Amino acid sequence: MPPHHHDDDAVFAASRRPEAARRALHEVLHEVQRTVVGQDDLLERLLVAVLTGGHVLLEGVPGLAKTLTVRTLAQTVGGSFGRIQFTPDLVPSDVVGTRVLRPGATGFDVELGPVFCHFLLADEVNRAPAKVQSALLEVMQERQATIAGVSHHVPEPFLVLATQNPVESEGTYPLPEAQTDRFLMKLVVDYPDAADEVDVVGRSLVQQAPTREQLTLEELEAVSALAREVHVDRRVIGYAVSLAEATRFPARHGLQDLERLVALGASPRGPLGLVHAARSLALLRGRGHVRAEDVADLAADVLRHRITPTYEALAEGVRADDVLARVLDAVPRPAASDLRIAA
């Protein structure tokens, strides 16, 4: 079946109207859901990350269709897909590329590494040494890699989905806090429920139809540009900042008992990422303005990896998600009726 494209009128409509953009994005979601079962929350968050221009750290046991999800999403928006299996013997040139001397050539050619794609799955990123991790994080941050003194830009959009296995610790190099802070979101993926798993096994018995392209990269950029125009009231920004502040100074928000459980709260990148991601989520929900509920819905995903529990918290089994649940209960949300909504 030929790839599906919206006509020019639809692209311009999507660049003007949130409802048209919502329909276009939901077509992408539905197309991916034809192939990927039971990962609806993950898919929605990945699409939010793409629109926001951020990267995702994914924690989950093997076999949860991470590769399939990212590859299918790439196909649905006409993007290229790359995958790197991180291992302890990897070196930075395996990731970003290197110079090679071809037989008979007079000089060196640059061979770009697997990071030069639109959607990159960095599998088990915590298995690679720090030098490789920092090379990947530099590309994520700068959107370019320097090979022999020459900068090469990665294509746009550029999304890294880095996975880490929470079960095995042998032979791993945990990402330092300063590096995990570069990820827009950290998603925790659990096993599918029984009904979804039956569906997965059932689908594996029949030939699946090929994934159809629902948006071009140009159309995706038009929708991303619209996300950057979504209105955010200052009270919603204040709410996002208050959530981050409550992780740093719990006592100021009536959470004195959390003081001994949190060593480090969310950095300023937390509320920054939270507000930008909330814009994309609002657009995905068909609105041209952000509500406090958009911020609250994303708070755990954007802030969990920016909170460092104390040894006391770890000993008591208190996780960052438990801290955030208390914070979300304690920090008052601005009422929708109080917000100024742009026309």
Q: Give the pLDDT score at 66.
A: 77
pLDDT at 2 over 60: no
Q: Give the pLDDT score at 55.
A: 92
All structural domains of the chain, each given as residue ranges with its CATH number in brackets, are: 18-206 (3.40.50.300), 230-338 (1.10.8.80)
Instruction: Indicate the pLDDT class of residue 338, thresholds 50, 70 and 90.
Output: low
Residue type, position 234, single letter: R
Q: Cα–Cα distance between 311 and 320 in angstroms, integer? A: 12
Section 297-316 average pLDDT: 91
Q: Cα–Cα distance between 239 and 60 in angstroms, integer? A: 30
CB 266 within 8 A of CB 248: yes
DSSP state of 4: P
pLDDT at 7 over 60: no
For the chain, helix (H) and strand (E) counts, in that order, are 14, 11
**Dihedral sign from CA coordinates of 21, 23, 25, 27:** negative
The pTM of this model reads 0.85
231 beta partners: 289
pLDDT at 170 over 70: no
- The residue ranking higher by pLDDT, 8 or 332, is 332
**Cis ω for the linkage preceding 157 (within 30 of 0):** yes
Mean pLDDT score across all residues of the chain: 83
In this predicted model, what pLDDT tens digit does every residue of 235-279 receive, in sequence order? 999 999 999 999 999 988 888 888 898 888 899 999 999 999 999
Q: Where does 249-268 have alpha helices with state H?
A: none
Distances (CA, A) of 105 to 108, 110, 271, 310: 7, 12, 52, 57
Q: Give the pLDDT score at 129.
A: 81
Q: Give the pLDDT score at 241.
A: 95
- In degrees, rounded to 5, the angle at the alpha carbon of residue 116 between the alpha carbons of residues 284 and 68 is 55
In this predicted model, what pLDDT tens digit does every residue of 105-127 receive, in sequence order? 677 777 777 888 999 898 888 88
DSSP string, 171-218: T--PPPHHHHTTSSEEEE--PPPHHHHHHHHHHTTSPPPPPPP-S-HH
Instruction: Indicate the pLDDT class of residue 169, thresholds 50, 70 and 90.
Output: low
CB 211 within 8 A of CB 31: yes
Q: Cα–Cα distance between 95 and 108 in angstroms, integer? A: 18
**Burial of residue 47 (number of CB atoms within 10 Å: 0-12, 13-18, 19+):** buried
Q: Which of 298, 281, 272, 275 is nearest to 182 (CA)?
A: 272
Q: Which tokens is 241 given?
A: 């900042």
Q: Cα–Cα distance between 320 and 31 in angstroms, integer? A: 33
CB 20 within 8 A of CB 13: yes
Residue type, position 235, single letter: R
Q: Give the pLDDT score at 339.
A: 67
pLDDT at 179 over 60: yes
CB 266 within 8 A of CB 273: no
